[in-house]
Every structure is written in structure tokens, then in C-alpha cells.
Structure 1
Amino acid sequence: MDDYFDNLDATEINLKYFTEHHGEIYKAYETYGHLVHTEGGPLDQKTCWLIKVALSTECQYPRALHTHILKALRGGCSKEEIEHAILLVAPSAGFPKTMAGILILRKILEETATDGITSIH
């Protein structure tokens, strides 16, 4: 898990490279993601983000989980709702995946608290 936090800069650099060299593909991908959220079905945005948090936890995609937690917080999900979504992973996918997800959530909450972000519950 330490590798994840150590490699955030490398991930950002790689994303910058991708968007500079494959901008149209990335734009289409972003548009698709937006359409799935807004037009894909009857689920509200909070539910969509909580599902994405759980899926990212189960799949052990730490960068995606980080992004989905931040978007869930911005989308109105509380820390408790996000933590519950992560806890729900344990019975189906295993306790270690849940613990890794909780670690990422705690790290984000620590970072946002020091940044003075007040919109997070």
C-alpha cells in the first residue's frame, strides 16, 4: 500500500502524458463516464459513487478508489456512508481488501482535514 502513496506523482505524470498524446480518446472516455452517471439509469449520484467506491475497493484499484472517494465526498456522501460501502466489500471479497480501502479513506480524510476542506462530512 505504501507504493500507492509513493507513486501518486508518477500516476499524475502518466495521466498528463496520456491526455497530451491521446486527448480525444481520454475525452471520449470522460464523456462516457459522465453519461453513465447522468443517463445510465435511475440511481441517484450518491448511490452511483458509493457503488464505485465499493467496486474500486474490491478490485484493489487504489488510484480509482482515491478518485471515487473524493468524488463521493464532493457528491454529498458522508464519511460514514463511504466507510459503510467499503465495509460491505469484506463479506464478498475479503477483509484485506476492506482494510486496504479503509486505509485509503483515512489517508484522504487526514489530507482533506489539513487542507481545510470543510465541505466534507
Structure 2
Amino acid sequence: MKQTAEVNGLKDFAMEMMDKGVKGKIYVNQANHNFEEPILSDEDTAGRQPLQMLRIVIKTDRETIYYEYLFNEAFDLEEINVQLEDIFVYFEKEIVSVEFMNDLVR
């Protein structure tokens, strides 16, 4: 499995597969980044958004690629979704659980 640190790497991979007529599936998971964070009082977290992680796997018959993105503002997530709109139309998309995603990336 290849991994990319840039959304453009994910898009380039998807576009290459689309150009070759290769079908596949996109698996998406969004969850809190650190499940083991200590619980803070409301005063400590006032006005702060929790750090989230968006994880995406594009799995095809030929190759698989993995991308993860840390964010804490809804705007950031919207921006990524806009950038990936084209590939979400081509590949079937499935929202998966943290456990399922962990199994995919192992």
C-alpha cells in the first residue's frame, strides 16, 4: 500500500486510475485523532475544537493508496471534500468505522 502526505498525491493516483479505466472503492473515516486524551474541564476546552483525523483509502484491483489529514476546523474538512469531489463521483465511496479503517491500513 502506498501512502501520500498530500491531497494532490491522492488526486493524482485517482486520476491515473480513472484514465486507465480502473475501478475501485474509496473508504473514508473521520474520527477524533487521539482517543486516549485526558478529559479536560470545560474551562480548559472552551472555544477549542477537538483535533480530528480524516483517513482515506482508495483501493483498486491494481494498487491501494492511503491518505490521512489532521484538522480541527469544519472549513478544513469542507476544503478537502471540494478538492476530492471529482474522484468521489468516479469511485464508489463508503464511510467506515475506525476499526475497519485500522484493518485496511495494517
| Superposed pair shares fold, TM > 0.5 | no
Alignment TM-score, normalising by the size of structure 1: 0.24
Which protein has the bigger helix share?
1
Q: Which has the higher strand share?
A: 2
Structure of higher RCO (CA pairs closer than 8 Å, 6+ residues apart): 2
